[in-house]
Structure 1
């Protein structure tokens, strides 16, 4: 089996794996940790999109560079802030 050819595609698959791990954490119980993992994956993906040359972006490229970086950063930071500000439930 041949894997992804570009670095962007490899990073995209790692990003999807990190989101999957975060979703599993949300389902299993420590939802805050899962949301933080998902948010961090988006921030790291935005940074990777920012520093990666255009010819190596692969599946990491959705629209223009500014659009991708802005929305991935916004989504990642929003998720981390959301996980931090939601009050804990009494047990």
Structure 2
């Protein structure tokens, strides 16, 4: 298997792996921990989108930088709040 050339694409693939692990955790039982894994993954990806230079973003870039950072940050925080506030 050949790794992607850009750092952003590698970060994106790690993000997808983390989301898959989180979804697996949600399905298997510890749903709070699964949502937290997914939420933290989105927040780390938002920070990575801010830091990685534009010519190395690869698949991490969807729209403009501001949109990507705000949207991934919003999703990450929303999932963390959901995992914390929903009663058992």
- Would you call these one fold, judging by a TM-score over 0.5? yes
- Deviation of 1:3 (Å): 1.2
Q: Where do residues 1-91 of structure 1 align in structure 2 (5 Å cutoff)? A: 1-88=1-88
TM-score by length of 2: 0.98
Q: Which runs of 5+ in 1 are unaligned?
A: none
- Deviation of 1:2 (Å): 1.8
SS state of the match for residue 62, structure 2? coil
Distance 2:27 2:4 in 1: 29
TM-score by length of 1: 0.95
Distance 1:61 1:23 in 2: 23
Count residues in correspondence: 88
